[in-house]
Amino acid sequence: MDNDWEYLVTWTQHGHSLLVDHKEDMADFTTGLTFLEVGSDRGEGSTKVLAELALSLGMKFVTVDMDDAVSDKVRPVVEAVHPEFMAICAKGEDYILTLPDNSIAVAYLDAYDTMPPDRMLPADMAQPYSRLGGWKNHEAWRMHLIASMALDFKLVPGGLLCFDDTWRKNGVWASRSKGYMALPWLLVNGYREVAYVDGSILLRKWRPK
């Protein structure tokens, strides 16, 4: 296990900014597809920014969080952007399975919380995880892997998938990072790296020429 905490705190950007910076890469998606966020805004401001991005692209928008307090807080925010935009309280990996195949154009995976191996999640942040059997660092890796495998059926060819808190160290996906297990799977299953900034990575799903 490596401890990358000092490295992590130097970053200023999150995955939602990377997505906004790549709006042009979303221009050729058919309107009516869904923009999905897994892990709703808990203070970094992602949900409103992404809902507005989805609106500007003519997409539907859904944000999913397992914590009902988080979902209840962001619901008026997304509904103010568009009355049909939704904030769902569910495990993201379960919710993804309920969606029609090929219905998602862009997905942002920023669920769960990870900590360096020598640190525990603060008690107030860990409390909502009691309904998932308690917070465990490695569950973040598993959750993002399972969500990615489920998303592979739901993302359109050429669809975009962004991870937050995911970085390489010496060419290897860091063990604290959310995509530690998902990224190796995605990169051998038809996804290619579009951009990588400050611990956020944007991938594009393979599409026929």
Ligand X SMILES: C[S@@+](CC[C@H](N)C(=O)[O-])C[C@H]1O[C@@H](n2cnc3c(N)ncnc32)[C@H](O)[C@@H]1O
CB of 184 to ligand X, least distance (A): 20
54, 59, 92, 107: residue in contact with ligand X (rule CB under 6 A):
92
Please check whether residue 190 is in contact with residue 159, taking contact to mean a CB–CB distance below 8 angstroms: no
Site membership for ligand X, residue 38 (CB under 6 A): yes
Site membership for ligand X, residue 18 (CB under 6 A): no
60, 75, 91, 205: residue in contact with ligand X (rule CB under 6 A):
91
Tokens of 37: 């966020």
Tokens of 18: 């990377």
Site membership for ligand X, residue 54 (CB under 6 A): no
CA atoms of 198 and 11, how far apart (whole Å) = 5
User: Which amino acid would we find at residue 50?
Assistant: L
The partner residues of 172 in beta bridges, in order of sequence, read 169
**Comparing C-alpha atoms, which of 56, 62, 60 is closest to residue 38?**
62
Site membership for ligand X, residue 155 (CB under 6 A): no
CA atoms of 166 and 191, how far apart (whole Å) = 16
Please give the residues from 95 up to 154 whose contact with ligand X meets the rule CB under 6 A: 110-113, 128, 143
For ligand X, which is the closer residue by CB, 27 or 123?
123
Q: Which chain residues interact with ligand X by CB under 6 A?
A: 14, 16, 38-46, 64-67, 70, 91-93, 110-113, 128, 143
